[in-house]
Amino acid sequence: MMILSQTTNSAQPKTLSNTTTNQQKPGTPARRQTLDFVMTLALSLRKKNPVEAKRWYGEAAKQGNLVGQLNYAQKLLDEGIGTKNRNSIIKARDWFEKALGQDAELKEAAYGIGLSYAKIPGAKEEDLGTARDWLMKAEDHPKALFALGYLDEQQGRYGTAIELYKQAKAEGSLAAAYNLGRCREIGRGTVKNIDEAENEYLFAAELGHAMSQFAIGLLEYNQDKLIPNLQTPQRSTALPLTKTYLSTKGYTNKNLSVHLGLYSYYH
């Protein structure tokens, strides 16, 4: 199972999360006060009411607020990727470009534009080439490093994909650790090594990466079928982490082993 979404633990300059809400086009004090209020409202709603948050981000974006543009673009991109909505992805790209027009060094925007080309439905070689160009402009950003690795893996450049995943992991990408584990588990771009795969999954799982929490449990479950009652250092940690993941999906301890069995069979 390959993913292109992730969690990072590192702070990067010039990104969506650490750009202040006051970075916007000049205007009257009253206009700036209104924009600050709109952004404060959007930020307060982002978890409680994402739909309303998106609307207010859009209002701020239309008035030239840089953080509003970035957040609105990201919302559109996430929705477009999730629903395979081409128009939403293109619209997101337009807003990332507007943000980049305000700050040419904004790596979050360059990453967003690159991802919009990589994840557009029916992406062609030309789209992937354009995606790579944009991602290279933000290559020291952990999400961009991860995405470059993903592109290389998709296009069969497994050796460079592994190296990019390693760099992304070093910068804080938990999804890169997950993909490293997956590559080591199946022997893609590297020698197959179950112990190293376990270590990669466990690293990310313990930091809260959901798919790694599931993967470590699944790996241990399948290993147990091959060598019953085998004790490893990872085993005592693996099952609780997997239960954490499955509990968020509505599974209980009672049907944990059943679900793992079905997943291992069908995947």
Position 36 confidence tier, pLDDT thresholds 50, 70, 90: low
Q: Where residue 217 falls among pLDDT bands split at 50, 70, 90?
A: confident
Comparing 78 with 20, the larger pLDDT belongs to 78
For 37-77, give the DSSP string.
HHHHHHHHHTTT-HHHHHHHHHHHHHTTBHHHHHHHHHHHH
- Best CA proximity match to 251, nearest among 217, 205, 208: 217
Dihedrals φ, ψ of 25, to 5°? Answer: -65, 150
Tell me the β-bridge partners of 173.
Answer: 8
The answer to whether 143 and 131 are in contact (CB under 8 A) is no
| pLDDT reported for residue 141 | 86
> What does the pLDDT read at residue 239?
56
The predicted model gives 238-252 an average pLDDT of: 56
Greatest alpha-carbon span in the chain:
72
**Cα–Cα distance for residue pair 228/118, rounded to 1 Å:** 43
pLDDT > 90 in the chain, percent? 51
Is the model's pLDDT at 28 over the cut of 80? no
pLDDT at 16 (0 to 100): 43
Backbone angles phi, psi at 145, to 5 degrees: -60, -45
128: tokens are 């992937």
* 94-129: pLDDT as tens digits: 999 999 999 999 999 999 999 999 999 999 999 999
Question: By the 8 A CB rule, do 59 and 85 touch?
Answer: no
Query: What's the rounded Cα separation, in Å, for the pair 176 and 106?
Result: 22
The contacts of residue 180 (CB under 8 Å, 6+ apart) are 162, 165, 166, 169, 200
The DSSP code for 255 is G
Q: Are 180 and 165 in contact (CB under 8 A)?
A: yes
**What does the angle CA 76 – CA 167 – CA 12 come to, to the nearest 5 degrees?**
50
- Segment among 148-162, 177-191, 216-230 with least mean pLDDT: 216-230
Q: What is the pLDDT of residues 54-68, one digit of tens each?
A: 888 898 899 998 988
Q: Give the tokens for residue 145.
A: 């490093």
Q: What is the chain's alpha carbon radius of gyration, rounded to the nearest angstrom?
A: 21
Residue with tokens 């925007």: 109
Q: How far apart are CA 102 and CA 176, in angstroms?
A: 30
pTM of the model: 0.67
Phi, psi of 57 (to 5 degrees): -60, -40
Mean confidence (pLDDT) of the chain: 77
What letter does residue 229 receive in the DSSP assignment? Answer: T
Q: Say how far apart CA 190 and CA 11 lie, in whole Å.
A: 30
Q: What gap in Å lies between CA 83 and CA 85, rounded to an integer?
A: 5
26 pLDDT higher than 90: no
